[in-house]
Amino acid sequence: MRKNKNKRQPAKRKAASQTQNSKRPCSDSPKRTENPQLTPFEIFFKEIEKFSKLHMKDRDRVQEILQSMQKAGSKTLQVISDFDMTLTRFEYNGKRCPTCHNILERSDAISSDCKKKLQELLDKYYPIEIDSTLSVEEKLPLMVEWWTKAHELLVNQKIKKAGLAKAVKDSEAKLRDGYQYFFDHLNEHSIPLLIFSAGIGDILEEVIRQTEVFHPNVKVISNYMDFDESGVLKAFKGELIHIYNKKEGALLNTGHFQELRTRTNVLLLGDSLGDLNMADGVQDMENILKIGFLNDKVEERKQSYLDSYDIVLIKDETLDVPNAVIRFLTE
């Protein structure tokens, strides 16, 4: 396996699971139609409203935010995004796609007994994570318990660093359709992309490296593995990052946000209510547009997402709407 040596150079070979369709800016977005009686913004907004999976509680507020962000210019923009089930697909052909943890859990690096125990943890804690009747305060200790137990099981497997690339390559992980335009366009316009994940950073980086979109503008905050001198997993580094403590994680990384102090406009992408706090470390923020992917338990959670996110995308496996937004903001 070619060593990365911390250089963000794309791999020479793409993951087999990615399709060429992802190279298109938007997989099925409406074509831009000119109307001399409409302003460019009015044309753009009419276009995004054509997406059948897009929902907004306050259309006027979204318009106001977008107009203000465009007026400020792309040099004031930064993008902050979750990874699992936000930049990656939730399902493909009716089958759930793996998260970063799932990629490792389903690989040859894990024993059958460990896989069984990890599945039992998933069956127990995932319904709690998405239960709209429970408060964050009620979920918090249970999420810590879940992640801690899962990491302990993984450490006991003596996973080898050299096997991570193969685990990703052999997996069914898929970035959302339109991913290449999303990553490439942000990089071409020097717009910082912060990926904030409760997953496994080493696996996350390998996914975007194998799809050739790990550009210099990308920074990842996640749970990273700590390997011994022989390349065997011995622990996880630093404080545990889980779905409901991203606010604390953001505040601990104030150095990153200090470097971006002129980037006062934020496009935030997430798939859970816990993701809403990812931008709490941004200094002197002027505008934030929050786009939420609602992938599962739609009827039970739709209202809470509409109350929390500016734009909600229901069962949308593409990055078409975020791509339309960043294209508009960089024109």
Where do the domains of the chain lie? 33-90+173-329, 97-169
Q: What is the mean pLDDT of residues 280-289?
A: 90
Amino acid code (one letter) for 47: E
- Please state, in angstroms and rounded to a whole number, the distance separating the CA atoms of residues 203 and 101: 8
pTM of the model: 0.85
Class of domain 97-169: mainly alpha
* Highest mean pLDDT pick, 2-16, 37-51, 259-273: 259-273
Q: What is the mean pLDDT of residues 312-325?
A: 97
pLDDT at 147 over 60: yes
pLDDT at 39: 84
CA angle (85 as vertex; 79, 90 as ends), nearest 5: 140
Least confident of 45-49, 85-89, 242-246: 242-246
Choice between 112 and 256, residue whose per-residue pLDDT is larger: 112
Check if 84 is active-site.
Answer: yes
pLDDT at 145: 93
- Please state, in angstroms and rounded to a whole number, the distance separating the CA atoms of residues 15 and 61: 40
- The active-site residue, picked from 82, 177, 271, 310, is 82
Least confident of 20-29, 154-163, 303-312: 20-29
pLDDT at 252: 65
State what percent of residues in the chain have pLDDT above 90.
68
User: What does the pLDDT look like over 1-35, one tens digit per residue?
Assistant: 444 444 455 444 444 445 444 445 555 444 555 55
- The active-site residue, picked from 84, 202, 271, 275, is 84
Tell me the CATH number of domain 33-90+173-329, given options 3.30.1700.10, 3.40.50.1000, 3.30.300.30, 1.10.357.140.
3.40.50.1000
Residues 6+ positions from 49 with CB-CB distance below 8 Å? none
Check if 177 is active-site.
Answer: no
Q: What are phi and psi of 206, to 5 degrees?
A: -65, -35
